[in-house]
Chain A
Amino acid sequence: MSTSIDTLESVGPSALKRLQSIVGNQQFILLLVLVALVIFFGERNSLFFTSSEFSNLLIDFSGLALIAVAETYVIISGGIDLSVGSTQAISGVGGGFAMQSLMNHHMSETGVLLIGAVICAGIGLVVGAVNAVLITKANLVPFVATLVTLSAGAGMALVFSRGAPIGQNPEAVAWSATGIGPFTWLVIIVISITTILGITLHVSKYGRNNFAIGSNSFAARAAGINVKRHIASVYMLSGILAGLTGMFFYIRSGAGSPQVGASSNLVAIAAVVIGGASLTGGVGRITGTLLGAGILTIVTDGLIFINVQPTWNQVVVAAFIALAAVLQSIRPGLRS
C-alpha cells in the first residue's frame, strides 16, 4: 500500500513537470497559434478547409520556407544574410535568359527546367561565394557584406532585365500546379530539401559545428573546427537555396522578375525569429522556423481570404510577430 502511494506521489510531480515543459515549449505554443489561426479563418469562410486552398497555402509556404531555412543556418552560425531576396531576383533573371534561349532551341520543358534550376542554384552559389569572401577574407561583418550583395544583386537584376520580366513560360506555370493531391511537385521538392537540411542541422557533425560556432566561435576554433571554412560554406548554402527560390518563383510566375523577393529577406528573418532562433547565434530549430513561416503564410493569405481591407494586413502581421516575441520572452518563466 505504501509502495503504491509512493509511486503516485512520484508520478504526480513528474507529470506536472512534463506538462510544464510541453506548455513552456515555444514550438508547442507556435503550433497552438497556427491551429488557432486555421480554425479562425475556417470559421469565417469554410472554403478555407478545401483542398485547393490547402494547396495554395502549401505553395506560398514553400516559397518562404526555402529561404527561411537558409536564414536559419546563417543565424544559428551567428551571422545574417540580407542578400537572399536580391539573389532570388538575379537568379530568376539569369535563369530566365538561359531558359528562354533553351526554349528557342526547342529543348524539352523538363530539360529546360532542370538546366534552369542548376543555373539558378549556380548564380546563387556565386553570390554566396562573394558573401563568403567578403566575410572570411575581407573580414567584413555579415550585415555589411550581405548588404553589399543585396544592393549589387538587386541592381544587376534591373540592369540586365531592364525592369521587365524575362522569359515567357506558361507551361512552367501549368506544371507548378501538378502533383499528388494538394501536394504539388514544387511543394514536395521543397519539403524534401528542408527535411534533409533539418536532419543535417540537428543530427550531423556539420550541424553541431554550426551551433558550436554560433554559440562561441573562439571555443569552436579551439576545439579544432575550421571556423572560416564552415562560415563560408554556410553562406554558399544560403546562396544556393536563395537561387533555387528564384527558380521556384520563375516556375510559379512563368518568368524571371527583377522585382521578386524585394522584401523576402525580412520576412524570412521574421519567420526564423518567430521560430525561436536567437539573432546572437547558437540557438534555433528548423521545425520552429517552419512553424514561423507557416504562421506568416496563414496570416497573410487568410486576411485576403476573408476579404479584410488591405490596410490592416501589415498591422496584423506585426501584431503576430510581437506576440511571438512576447511568448519567447516569457518562455523561461513558464519553464521554471
Chain B
Amino acid sequence: MKRESLTSGALKRSRWIGAKAVIAASLAVSSIAIVGLGSASQAGASSKKFSIAFVVGAEADPFFQSMYVGAHAEAKKLGVTLIWQGDPVDYSPSTQIPVVQQVLAEKPSALVIAPTDTKALEPYVAQAIKKGIPVFNVDSGDANQKNITSWVTGNNVQGGTAAADALASALNYSTTCTSASPCTVAVGVSSITTSTDAARLKGFDAQLKAKYPNITALNPIVSQSQSSVAQQGFAQDISAHHLQGIFAIDGTDAEGAAAAITAAGSAGANIKVVGYDAYASNIASMQGGKIAAIISQQPTLEGKDIIKYAVQRLKQGNAKGIPHLLTLANIVLTPTTSQATLNKYVYTAS
C-alpha cells in the first residue's frame, strides 16, 4: 500500500515535471511566435479604408520578400491596409488554398494572389468575385483567365530566351561550339511542374533550337528548391558530361551551380553559369567570377504595380485604364553591370 502510494506520488511528480516542461516549451514557442506576429502586424498598421489581401506561395523566398517590400511601400503610400499571407516554405496549392479561404473570410476589399496552380485556385477566385471582391494575379497566372482584373508578371519565356543568349555569349558560341564539337550544358529547375520554371525552360530550349543548334541541353536536374540538392545534381553532370555551361533556372539552383563549380576545382573552372533571380548571394557569386550572368526579375515593381492597380480599381469602381496583363521585362545582369544597377535589382527583404 505504501509502495503504491509512493509510486503514485512519484508518478504525480513525474507528470508535474512533464507538465512544467510542456508549459515551458509552449511558452518559449509562443513567445517566439508573438514576437514574429508583432513584426508581421506592422504591415497592417496603415489601415485606413480599403484592405487588400495578398497571398503568395513560399513566402520566405527572397523573391516574395522583395515583392513584399514594393507592395508594402505602395500600400502605405496609398493609405490602404495590406494583409500579407502565404505558406513560408511550400509552393503548393494544397497549402495555398486554406490561406486564401482564410483571408477571404476577413472580407478584404480586393484579393491579390500569386497562384501556385491557376486551375486549382480558380474556384476560390470565382468565389471571391461572386462576393464582389475583385481579384488580381501577380507573378504566376494564366493569360486566358478573363475574370481577373489585372495580372502583373515577369516574362518567363523571354527570360529563358535571354538566358540562352547570355549563355551562348559567355561560351563564345561561334568559336567554341561547332557541329564537330558541340557544347553540352546542364539545366537545373526547382520543379518541372511549376509554370514559371516550365516557361523559362520553354524559352531557353526554343532559343537553343532556333539560334544555337550546337548547344545540347541535358535533361534538367530537379532541386526541390534546395541549393544543396542542386549542387549534388550539377556535380554529377560535371563529372559525366564535360560540361561547358549551366542554366540555373531560379535563385536556389544558381546558388547550387556556383557551389558545384567551385567544389569541382579545375574541372569547373571553365564552366559558364547563367542564373536566374538576383539573390544577394548570387550577385556576390557573379562578382566572384562564379556566375557569368543573372536574369533578374522585378518583384519589388510587381508588388508595387499590382497594389497600385488594385487601389485604382477600388477607387474608381471599374477596371478602366487598368491593363489586363502587364509584362515586366527581365534584366540581364553581368559582371560589368554597375553597382548602382545591381543595388537596384538585388532582391531585398528591407
Q: Which of B72-80, B215-223, B313-321 contacts A (4 or more CB under 8 A)?
A: B215-223
Q: Is the CB of A173 within 8 A of B263?
A: yes
Q: Which of B21-29, B100-108, B121-129, B323-331 contacts A (4 or more CB under 8 A)?
A: B21-29
- A158 and B281 contact, Cβ closer than 8 Å, known pairs A253-B228, A305-B239: no
Q: Is the CB of A138 within 8 A of B236?
A: no
Q: Is the CB of B239 within 8 A of A56?
A: yes
DSSP majority for the B interface?
helix
B62 within 8 A of A: yes
A118: which B residues are within 8 A, CB to CB? Answer: none
A60: which B residues are within 8 A, CB to CB? Answer: 232, 235
Q: Which of B16-48 touch A at CB < 8 Å?
A: 17-19, 21-22, 25, 29, 32, 36
Q: Is the CB of B60 within 8 A of A47?
A: no
Q: Is the CB of A304 within 8 A of B233?
A: yes
Q: Is the CB of B284 within 8 A of A263?
A: no
A290 within 8 A of B: no
A324 within 8 A of B: no
A257–B230 CA distance with the chains assembled, in angstroms? 13
Q: Is the CB of B61 within 8 A of A170?
A: no
Q: Is the CB of A156 within 8 A of B14?
A: no
Q: Which of B323-343 touch A at CB < 8 Å?
A: none
Q: How near does chain A come to B257, taking the closest CB pair, in angstroms?
A: 11
A165: which B residues are within 8 A, CB to CB? Answer: 227, 255, 279, 281
- A252 and B240 contact, Cβ closer than 8 Å, known pairs A159-B32, A259-B89: no
A310 within 8 A of B: yes
Q: Is the CB of A260 within 8 A of B228?
A: yes
Chain B interface size range: 35 or more
B194 within 8 A of A: no
A39 within 8 A of B: no
Q: Is the CB of B349 within 8 A of A162?
A: yes
B304 within 8 A of A: no
Fill in one digit per residue for B82-110: 1 if any A CB lies within 8 Å of its CB, else 0: 00000011000000000000000000000
- CB < 8 Å A-B pair total: 147
Q: Is the CB of A252 within 8 A of B231?
A: yes
Interface size on A, residues (CB 8 A): 56
- A134 and B21 contact, Cβ closer than 8 Å, known pairs A177-B263, A254-B259: yes
B65: which A residues are within 8 A, CB to CB? Answer: 162-164
A163: which B residues are within 8 A, CB to CB? Answer: 59-62, 65, 88, 349
Q: How near does chain B come to A264, taking the closest CB pair, in angstroms?
A: 9
A177–B62 CA distance with the chains assembled, in angstroms? 29
A239–B37 CA distance with the chains assembled, in angstroms? 28
Q: How near does chain A come to B104, taking the closest CB pair, in angstroms?
A: 25
Residue of B nearest to A313 (CB): B222
A48–B284 CA distance with the chains assembled, in angstroms? 33
Q: Is the CB of A45 within 8 A of B240?
A: yes
Q: Is the CB of B228 within 8 A of A137?
A: no
A235 within 8 A of B: no
A168 within 8 A of B: yes
Fill in one digit per residue for A216-247: 1 if any B CB lies within 8 Å of its CB, else 0: 00000000000000000000000000000000
Q: How near does chain A come to B264, taking the closest CB pair, in angstroms?
A: 7
Q: Which of A148-195 touch B at CB < 8 Å?
A: 148, 152, 154-156, 158-159, 161-165, 168, 170, 173-174, 176-177
Q: Is the CB of A53 within 8 A of B240?
A: yes
Q: Is the CB of A259 within 8 A of B226?
A: yes
Q: How near does chain B come to A260, taking the closest CB pair, in angstroms?
A: 5
Q: How near does chain A come to B16, taking the closest CB pair, in angstroms?
A: 10
Q: Is the CB of B349 within 8 A of A164?
A: yes
B62, B89, B262, B349: the one contacting A173 at CB < 8 Å is: B262
A63–B263 CA distance with the chains assembled, in angstroms? 15
Sorted nearest first, the 5 A-B pairs with minimum C-beta distance are A163-B60, A138-B18, A304-B236, A173-B262, A53-B239
Q: List 9 A-B contacts (CB under 8 A).
A: A164-B279, A254-B259, A255-B227, A257-B226, A300-B232, A305-B240, A307-B241, A308-B219, A310-B192
